[in-house]
């Protein structure tokens, strides 16, 4: 977007904005998603300082399958109990947040980067570029996403960064299609034609006119994709081809706890499941809010 | 109706823009396999005209007569099928590199819809400064200065540079579009129905503004429109288009007083008279504009022309000068 020099913003304020405009910045903040996401992000960032135990090692002197502290047989030193190896569930959840958020955000960035770039190229260049890119997208869409991800993950071997690249490669198609459609209609808009008539190069048109106008859509898609990618990462980890053990990931925690669900060790599955659900929900709500927020036509309302 | 500053194409100075035999045919295909071409749409079919420095040429015609295609050809949005457009004596089809950039700098356009022609995500200052950024290496401050200058020219305060387009009315937006078109010391502006989308009251303001700018800056206009009164008001000379051809061309005043071509006469019949007591020969035509895909034989206007003769169906009339600066393509003259 356009950066404002102090004078021009002062001028803008003088013309139409009430003097307390900055106060309204806080009006309508997405409180629920922020209330969920901010703690998760902080926890993920400061996991090393917050987590009471090493998430990969059994807690010394603790039995396995200790239930959460408030239950019969719980221990106050391991608040959320221990798993089948006697590792602290709370510490694993805390470090798992880091994995989920990094994979979710970075996977979305990779998917969004590939998809937006290809979508803009296809839409703006048209002709053969369009044909090739869109047939590639169609072919890609025909592949079942998760099966394809599992295939790629077993090919390149499990690691967090591999998972990020793989999920990016799996989920870019939606961006490419939506962005291409937007670009097709943008290309016919008169302000784009005006720029071309004024002599703007393709790069300039894309940078100044196309990209800023598709960012909204990319943002909305990203809000949807983060959730999908987090769930996909959890699924891969659940299936054993995601983040490799003993590294804690919510998906692999679900897998580990699954067999114990029948005998009543619910905390091993419900707690990571709840974390996944809350983070996914919060990202979706936040994305929706961002979309409204980023549209200058709605900004002053 | 103006006259005087440049009554006819008397060659005192070389024309700024010269169009000769300009033709644009679009292939029509049906989407079968294999793709089959079933004909050509002759959107523009051999037109000639010239625009002098500081002159306004009005182009008038019904929708589908080729006036927008003509503007696209001039703006290099389409390539001509044949014919030439010369700017400063140089064929624009062959322009490349710095010469093409010079043409891009000196020829600008104002579109009809002021809501679509300004990017909703850029501030007014950025929108107006864009041609400067493309063509000059002025500093940011110098750009802002120039933007303030052209905003002043079109009657807007310099502070509006910091606002977004959606904060303006249609008339103000069109002023912004004009400011942008002027910012690079433009020599020719194609005005593609610039006031058709505006309120009648705003229309007059914008028209006067355009005339004033022309008087001050000496810029040439090609004013495309379908409203006779508007086009006649602002133009020095008018070209009347019908189905891709210019059927009549004359000084604006002359055309209003003595329209010769039956189509032009019909256009004047359709428009409201300047004075309610005005007596004029009434000439009404019926029917639709025929398809440009299969234009009528002979004179393209003959199926609708009340004065058609047998010759009109076979013989296409050439446009010839019947009075100084007044040419018409009709067998009646």
Is pLDDT above 70 for B83?
yes
Is pLDDT above 90 for A274?
yes
Q: Is A92 on the interface with B (CB under 8 A)?
A: no
With beta carbons under 8 A apart, name residues in chain A contacting B87.
none
Q: Tell me if B166 and A297 make a contact (CB, 8 A cut-off).
A: yes
Q: Is A2 on the interface with B (CB under 8 A)?
A: yes
Q: How many residues does chain A have?
A: 301
Most confident of A24-28, A59-63, B169-173: B169-173
Quote the number of domains for chain B.
1
Q: Tell me which of B35 and A174 has the higher pLDDT.
A: A174
Q: What percent of chain A has pLDDT over 90?
A: 34
Residue that has been written with the tokens 């004009």 in this structure: B178
Q: Distance (Å, rounded) from C-alpha A135 to C-alpha A245?
A: 38
Q: Could you tell me if B245 and B257 are in contact, meaning their C-beta atoms sit under 8 angstroms apart? A: no
What one-character DSSP code corresponds to residue B165? G
Q: What is the mean pLDDT of chain B?
A: 86
- How many contiguous H segments (helices) and E segments (strands) does chain B have? 9, 12
Q: Distance (Å, rounded) from C-alpha A240 to C-alpha A258?
A: 13
Q: Could you tell me if A75 and A68 are in contact, meaning their C-beta atoms sit under 8 angstroms apart? A: no
pLDDT band per the 50, 70, 90 thresholds, residue B14: confident
Is pLDDT above 70 for A18?
no
Is pLDDT above 80 for A300?
no
Is pLDDT above 60 for A297?
no
The H or E element spanning position A37 is helix A31-45
Q: Is residue A45 part of a domain?
A: yes
Minimal Cβ distance to A11: which of B100, B162, B164: B162
Mean pLDDT on B99-104: 92
Alpha carbon A194 to its chain centroid, in Å, reads 36
Minimal Cβ distance to A198: which of B108, B121, B122: B108
Which residues of chain B approach chain A closer than 8 Å at the C-beta?
A: 75-77, 100-101, 104-105, 107-109, 111, 113, 116-123, 125-127, 130-131, 134-135, 159-164, 166-167, 180, 184
Is pLDDT above 80 for B6?
no
Q: Is residue A1 part of a domain?
A: no
Mean pLDDT on A46-71: 82
Angle, helices A250-258 vs A211-238, to 10°: value is 30
For residue B159, give how far its alpha carbon lies from the nearest alpha carbon of chain A (Å): 6
Question: For the segment A178-210, what is each residue's pLDDT rounded down to a tens digit?
Answer: 999 999 999 988 899 999 999 899 999 999 999
Domain of residue A244: give its range: 28-299
Is pLDDT above 90 for B189?
yes
Q: Tell me if B101 and A16 make a contact (CB, 8 A cut-off).
A: no
Strand residue runs (E) in chain B: 17-30, 36-51, 56-60, 82-87, 90-91, 107-110, 188-192, 220-225, 237-242, 245-251, 320-323, 326-328
With beta carbons under 8 A apart, name residues in chain A contacting B135.
198-199
- Amino acid B304: pLDDT: 86
Is the backbone of residue B31 left (phi > 0), alpha (psi -120 to 50) or beta?
beta
Most confident of A108-117, A222-231, B303-312: A108-117
Note the pTM of the prediction, 2 decimals: 0.78
Q: Distance (Å, rounded) from C-alpha B24 to C-alpha B78?
A: 9
Lowest pLDDT segment from A52-61, A118-127, A233-242, B131-140: A52-61
Q: Is residue A4 part of a domain?
A: no
Is pLDDT above 50 for B312?
yes
Judged by DSSP in three states, B326 sits in strand
Mutation target among A17, A188, A189, A190 for the B interface, most CBs of B within 10 A? A190
- Amino acid B201: pLDDT: 85
Question: For the segment A97-127, what is each residue's pLDDT rounded down to a tens digit?
Answer: 998 899 999 999 999 999 999 999 999 998 8
- How many contiguous H segments (helices) and E segments (strands) does chain A have? 15, 0
Q: Is residue B333 part of a domain?
A: no
Give strand pairing partners of B262: none
Q: What is the mean pLDDT of chain A?
A: 84
Q: Is residue B4 part of a domain?
A: no
Q: Is residue A180 part of a domain?
A: yes
Lowest pLDDT segment from A225-239, B1-15, B49-63: B1-15
Q: Is residue B256 part of a domain?
A: yes
Is pLDDT above 50 for B90?
yes
A145 contacts: CB under 8 Å, gap ≥ 6: A170, A171, A232
Question: For the segment B143-188, what is each residue's pLDDT rounded down to a tens digit?
Answer: 999 999 999 999 999 999 999 998 999 899 999 999 999 999 899 9
With beta carbons under 8 A apart, name residues in chain B contacting A197.
75-77, 104, 107-109
- Amino acid A45: pLDDT: 92
Give strand pairing partners of A133: none
Q: Is A1 on the interface with B (CB under 8 A)?
A: yes
Q: Is residue A240 part of a domain?
A: yes
Q: Is residue B12 part of a domain?
A: no
Q: Is residue B9 part of a domain?
A: no
Q: Compute φ and ψ for B157, nearest 5 degrees.
A: -75, 145
Q: Is residue A14 part of a domain?
A: no
User: At B180, which CATH number?
Assistant: 3.40.50.300
Q: Tell me if A197 and B75 make a contact (CB, 8 A cut-off).
A: yes
Question: For the segment A74-88, what is each residue's pLDDT rounded down to a tens digit?
Answer: 777 878 888 888 888
Q: Is A6 on the interface with B (CB under 8 A)?
A: no
Structure tokens at B82: 């044949």
Mean pLDDT on B302-322: 86
- CB-based burial label for B32 (10 Å; 0-12, 13-18, 19+): exposed
With beta carbons under 8 A apart, name residues in chain B contacting A14.
159
Q: Is A296 on the interface with B (CB under 8 A)?
A: yes
With beta carbons under 8 A apart, name residues in chain B contacting A187.
none
Q: Is residue A23 part of a domain?
A: no
Quote the number of domains for chain A.
1
Task: Name the residue among B304, B294, B297, B302 with its Cα closest to residue B330.
Answer: B302
Q: Is residue B69 part of a domain?
A: yes
Give strand pairing partners of B188: B107, B220
Question: For the segment B21-45, what is each residue's pLDDT rounded down to a tens digit?
Answer: 999 998 888 777 777 777 888 889 8
Q: Tell me if B105 and A8 make a contact (CB, 8 A cut-off).
A: no
Is pLDDT above 60 for B1?
no
User: At A67, which CATH number?
Assistant: 1.10.3720.10
Domain of residue B203: give its range: 17-328
With beta carbons under 8 A apart, name residues in chain A contacting B123.
2, 8
């Amino acid at each position: 977007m356009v950066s404002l020099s102090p004078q021009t913003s002062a001028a803008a304020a003088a013309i139409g904005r009430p003097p307390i405009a900055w106060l309204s910045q806080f009006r309508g903040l997405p409180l629920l998603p922020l209330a969920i996401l901010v703690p998760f992000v902080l926890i993920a960032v400061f996991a090393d300082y917050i987590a009471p135990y090493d998430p990969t090692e059994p807690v010394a002197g603790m039995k396995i399958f200790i239930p959460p502290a408030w239950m019969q047989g719980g221990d106050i030193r391991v608040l959320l109990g221990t798993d089948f190896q006697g590792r602290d569930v709370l510490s694993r959840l805390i470090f798992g947040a880091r994995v989920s958020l990094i994979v979710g955000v970075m996977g979305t960035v990779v998917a969004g980067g590939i998809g937006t770039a290809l979508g803009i190229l296809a839409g703006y260049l048209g002709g053969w570029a369009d044909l090739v890119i869109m047939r590639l997208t169609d072919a890609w869409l025909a592949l079942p996403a998760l099966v394809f991800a599992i295939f790629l993950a077993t090919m390149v071997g499990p690691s967090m960064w591999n998972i990020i690249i793989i999920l990016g490669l799996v989920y870019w198609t939606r961006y490419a299609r939506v962005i291409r459609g937007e670009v097709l209609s943008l290309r016919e808009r008169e302000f784009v034609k005006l720029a071309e008539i004024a002599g703007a190069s393709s790069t300039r048109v894309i940078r100044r006119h196309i990209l800023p106008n598709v960012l909204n859509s990319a943002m909305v898609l990203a809000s949807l994709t983060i959730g999908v990618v987090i769930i996909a990462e959890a699924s891969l980890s659940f299936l054993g081809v995601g983040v490799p053990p003993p590294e804690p990931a919510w998906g692999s925690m679900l897998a580990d706890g699954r067999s114990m669900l029948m005998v009543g060790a619910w905390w091993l599955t419900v707690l990571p499941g709840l974390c996944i659900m809350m983070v996914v929900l919060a990202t979706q709500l936040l994305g929706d809010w961002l979309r409204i927020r980023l549209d200058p036509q709605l900004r002053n309302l | 109706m103006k006259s005087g500053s440049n009554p006819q194409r008397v060659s005192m100075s070389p024309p700024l823009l010269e169009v000769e035999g300009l033709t644009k045919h679009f292939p029509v295909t049906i989407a079968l396999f294999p793709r089959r071409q079933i004909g050509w749409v002759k959107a523009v079919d051999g037109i000639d005209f010239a625009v002098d420095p500081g002159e306004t040429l009005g182009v008038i015609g019904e929708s589908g007569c080729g006036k927008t295609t003509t503007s696209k050809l001039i703006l290099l949005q389409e390539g001509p099928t044949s014919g030439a457009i010369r700017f400063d004596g140089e064929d624009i089809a062959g322009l490349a590199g710095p010469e093409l950039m010079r043409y891009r700098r000196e020829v600008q356009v104002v579109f009809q819809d002021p809501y679509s022609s300004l990017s909703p995500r850029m501030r007014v200052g950025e929108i107006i400064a864009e041609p400067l950024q493309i063509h000059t290496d002025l500093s940011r401050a110098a750009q802002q200065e120039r933007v303030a200058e052209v905003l002043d020219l079109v009657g807007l305060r310099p502070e509006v540079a910091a606002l977004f387009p959606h904060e303006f009315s249609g008339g103000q937006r069109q002023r912004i579009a004009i400011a942008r078109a002027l910012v690079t010391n433009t020599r020719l502006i194609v005005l593609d129905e610039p006031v058709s989308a505006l309120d009648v009251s705003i229309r007059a303001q914008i028209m006067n503004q355009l005339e004033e700018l022309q008087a001050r800056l000496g810029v040439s206009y090609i004013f495309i429109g379908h409203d006779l009164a508007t086009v006649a008001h602002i133009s020095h000379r008018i070209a009347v288009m019908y189905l891709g051809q210019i059927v009549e061309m004359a000084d604006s005043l002359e055309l209003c007083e003595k329209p010769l071509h039956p189509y032009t006469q019909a256009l004047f019949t359709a428009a409201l008279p300047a004075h309610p007591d005005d007596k004029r020969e009434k000439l009404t035509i019926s029917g639709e504009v025929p398809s440009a895909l299969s234009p009528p034989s002979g004179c393209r206007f003959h199926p609708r022309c009340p004065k058609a003769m047998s010759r009109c169906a076979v013989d296409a009339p050439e446009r010839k000068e019947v009075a100084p600066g007044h040419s018409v393509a009709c067998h009646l003259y």
